[in-house]
Structure 1
Amino acid sequence: MAIPGWTRSESPFHAGELAIQTRLGALERMDKQGRRVIREFLPEQHRQFYAQLPYVIVGTVDQAGHPWASILVGEPGFMSSPDDRTLQVKAKPLFGDPLTTILTEGIDIGFLGIELHTRRRNRMNGVVTATDANGFEVRVGQSFGNCPQYIQARMYELGEFDPTTPKPINEFTLLSEPEREAIASSDTFFIATAYQDESAGEASGVDVSHRGGNPGFVRIDEDNQTLTIPDFSGNCHFNTFGNLELNPHAGLLFIDFDRGDILYLTGTAEVIWEGAEINTYAGAERLLRFHLERGYRVQSSLPLHWSEPQFSPFLKDTGSWQSTSV
């Protein structure tokens, strides 16, 4: 039996996403696809998937309008869904995670359930409907699956931990050597964006997404505030870029898989749609430029230990940054 798709007459995409789909000649195709795969509930396989995860990536927006990407960790089963419109989370944010001060009833929230070792991922957004000392509850707004492209496979081990245990925190507005080193060697990061205007209807809210590439695919400019990242062929939903079309604020999360350090960055972002610079990274269809406003590095924060990565086969047609005079 087929699982029902989008049941509303209005599009599951908002004006920013629709504008980009129109620009790239994909509007009609994505309307059909979106109505088929985007749902207002959690399908049974998604409910089971979230329940087996030991971590989940979360996107929120603080009171000043700055998005942040976060990670919540717990023993498998810390997420559950008593019904297909509700996700319950029994976990506290890690020490120093901006989510600690943002999480409250009524906020928009985005989830990326991602299982790195199987390269499986599902996206969801919704609204926090309740909080307590042990976690919170979310009413589902949109739910859909994502393809496995560009995910580096890593197996995990979860150790015992207390998320409230203090860790060293470094706050910055410029990237210093430890942050530059972590970003320059990274093959994975996560990005949170949002469009929360009432005009977006059921398509409004917060999104958090995965980005992957060869180590060094995130270029750090000389000002130590600007990151430039290639964007490869994807599912054409343009959830991240659609949000940026209407709201340039973004939050980035980098995980140091060796040390367990976590980088939380917030700032503004823009999309480079054309120009010679795009051609300096093989496989790039466009570029994402991020401008740092504020960040935190929490040392030895993540209680997960990881295997060496198995790089995505989709990266074979992508390259690295080459020198350019543009």
Structure 2
Amino acid sequence: MTTTVYHEGSRAVQDRVGVRELADHVGRSIGPGIKPVAATFLEHQPFLVLGAADPATGEVWSSVLAGTPGFVRATGPHQISVRAAPLPTDPLRAALATPGTPVGTIALDPRTRRRMRLNGRMRPAPAGFAVEAERVFSNCPKYLQKRETYEEDPTRRPRSPLVSTELSATQRAFIEAADTFFVTTVHDTGADASHRGGNPGFLRAESPRELTWRDYPGNSMFLTLGNLAADPRAGVLLLDWTTGTTLQLTGEARTYFAANGDRTIRFTLTKAVDTPSALPLRWSAPHYSPANPEPGR
């Protein structure tokens, strides 16, 4: 299984860090099947994060869809159905309408600090789309902030997005106050959507066009960094857990290795889409993960 789970980019990072054997062990948990416990988990989620490359422009974007729990459902051992559509202004809309597009998804439940990733291929379907699963796996709760409750605001309506090639001062402040973001990366083998979390300040807006974050120790698979080693295109998504605003960024990201073993990712922005009130969900305040390092450490 591990020979198909990892491509040369992930292998190069694993070897550089010295975790190939551990990665092989962890990689045995990845398979194409959706187990009953995973199917049940999906049906209880009010939102789904997903990412892909635009088939026309090549830009990689991350996005999020929300709906009444059950809007994401396993319709077989190797397929999920998503009964929702992206906003007309969502930069990921074209990719989600193109059959066969590689897509990465992540279902995350802040109430239980559980998450599940499913990568596969797009297939249009009535009232939404389906994803034919190629890789399904769960991750540990490390760096996940707990949010105990949420409510849906039926009066909230998405407003017109602000599209730019640089981050405003307000957007940079929003980024530096974030405790969670999502990143999509791609490779010839497919697309992957992943979660990153930490105490506010762990994600830095170094300039109007550059973000940085430290790569905290994880499951040693290095799927994200492995993809970036082969293809630097990336899409970043931030959510305002109170107002429902989304900030979608596309650009390129590269990993820098320090002599002490630290890893820093530098993301260079090419385009930003800021959509006020994009989601109808309002979550309670976070309880930060005890695994979070202090920013700068």
Tell me the TM-score normalised to structure 2 length: 0.94
Please tell me whether Structure 1 or Structure 2 has the larger radius of gyration of its CA atoms. 1
Q: Any idea what the Cα deviations from partners look like across 1:213-268, whole Å, max 9, x if unmatched?
A: 111111111x3111110111100010100000000010000112233211000000
Provide the residue aligned with 2:140 in structure 1: 147
Cα drift, residue 170 of structure 1: 0.6
Provide the residue aligned with 1:238 in structure 2: 222
Q: Count the aligned residue pairs.
A: 294
Cα drift, residue 82 of structure 1: 2.1
Q: Does 1:105 align with 2:99?
A: yes
Provide the residue aligned with 1:169 in structure 2: 161
Provide the residue aligned with 1:122 in structure 2: 116
Provide the residue aligned with 1:201 in structure 2: none
Q: C-alpha separation between the residues in 1 aligned to 2:145 and 2:232?
A: 28
Cα drift, residue 28 of structure 1: 2.3
Cα drift, residue 160 of structure 1: 2.6
Cα drift, residue 161 of structure 1: 6.4
Q: Which amino acid in the other structure matches residue 309 of structure 1?
A: P
5 Å matches for 1:203-214?
Answer: 204-214=189-199
Q: C-alpha separation between the residues in 2 aligned to 1:56 and 1:68?
A: 14
The answer to whether the Cα contact below 8 Å between 1:159 and 1:303 also exists between their aligned partners in 2 is: yes
Cα drift, residue 159 of structure 1: 2.9
The answer to whether the Cα contact below 8 Å between 1:113 and 1:122 also exists between their aligned partners in 2 is: yes
Q: Does 1:56 align with 2:31?
A: no
- Give identity over the alignment, percent: 37
Provide the residue aligned with 2:39 in structure 1: 47
The answer to whether the Cα contact below 8 Å between 2:50 and 2:62 also exists between their aligned partners in 1 is: yes
Q: C-alpha separation between the residues in 2 aligned to 1:129 and 1:40?
A: 16
Provide the residue aligned with 2:240 in structure 1: 256
Cα drift, residue 275 of structure 1: 4.9
The answer to whether the Cα contact below 8 Å between 1:127 and 1:140 also exists between their aligned partners in 2 is: yes
Q: C-alpha separation between the residues in 2 aligned to 1:313 and 1:96?
A: 37
Q: Any idea what the Cα deviations from partners look like across 1:131-189, whole Å, max 9, x if unmatched?
A: 34x10111110001100000111122123368xx5512111111112211210111110
Q: C-alpha separation between the residues in 1 aligned to 2:122 and 2:4?
A: 23
Q: Any idea what the Cα deviations from partners look like across 1:83-115, whole Å, max 9, x if unmatched?
A: 111111101113532222321211111110100
5 Å matches for 1:243-322?
Answer: 243-275=227-259, 285-315=262-292, 318-321=293-296
Tell me the TM-score normalised to structure 1 length: 0.86
Provide the residue aligned with 1:191 in structure 2: 183
Change (3 A) 1:307 1:95: farther
Q: What's the Cα RMSD here?
A: 1.8
Out of 4, 9, 25, which is 1:11 matched to? 4
SS of equivalent residue, structure 1 residue 11: helix
The answer to whether the Cα contact below 8 Å between 2:256 and 2:263 also exists between their aligned partners in 1 is: yes
SS of equivalent residue, structure 2 residue 75: coil
